[in-house]
Amino acid sequence: MTMTMTIWFRSLEEFAKCQILAIPEKYETRPYAFGFQKNSSYLGIFNFYFDNLRETGALSKIKLKYMKTTQECPNTAGSPIGFDNCITAFCIVSLGLVMMLILIAAEHVYMLMLKNK
């Protein structure tokens, strides 16, 4: 998860209530960038102010402001998932089963029709 996404999640109320869980591993460690046109006149101005934010510590203050929320959730390891959380999977499997039975019946009827000719 990128730093931007982590900062955004930590600022949500759902994060504090443990409805969104933070996983300590980093999954996307690619750097991110701001795109400018080639030979853009805004690049120098942007770099100046971005470096200014970094040097004065304002960028660190912004990160700390949104990352100050810590998450202390109860340990739910080993607790059951519950039917309401996995009903979609059961519906998909049931739909596949019904489609399979329809196709088997249609194939059986088709084979009977070919035998009778």
Q: For the ranges 6-10, 70-74, 80-84, which has the lowest average pLDDT?
A: 6-10
Burial string for 74-94 (b: 16+ CB within 10 Å, else e) reads eeeeeeeeeeeeeeeeeeeee
Do 95 and 39 share a structural domain?
Answer: no
Q: Which amino acid is located at 75 in the chain?
A: N
Give me the pLDDT at residue 5, please: 55
Name the burial class of residue 1, with classes exposed (0-12), middle (13-18) and buried (19+) by CB atoms within 10 angstroms of its CB.
middle
99 and 56 part of one domain: no
Each residue's pLDDT tens digit, 21-47? 766 666 666 777 778 888 888 888 988
Q: How does pLDDT run across 86-96, given as a tens digit for each residue?
A: 899 999 999 99
**According to the model, what pLDDT value does residue 1 have?**
46
Same domain, 99 and 87: yes
DSSP 25: S
Range of the domain at 70: 1-78
Which two tokens mark 74?
């109860």
pTM for the model: 0.39
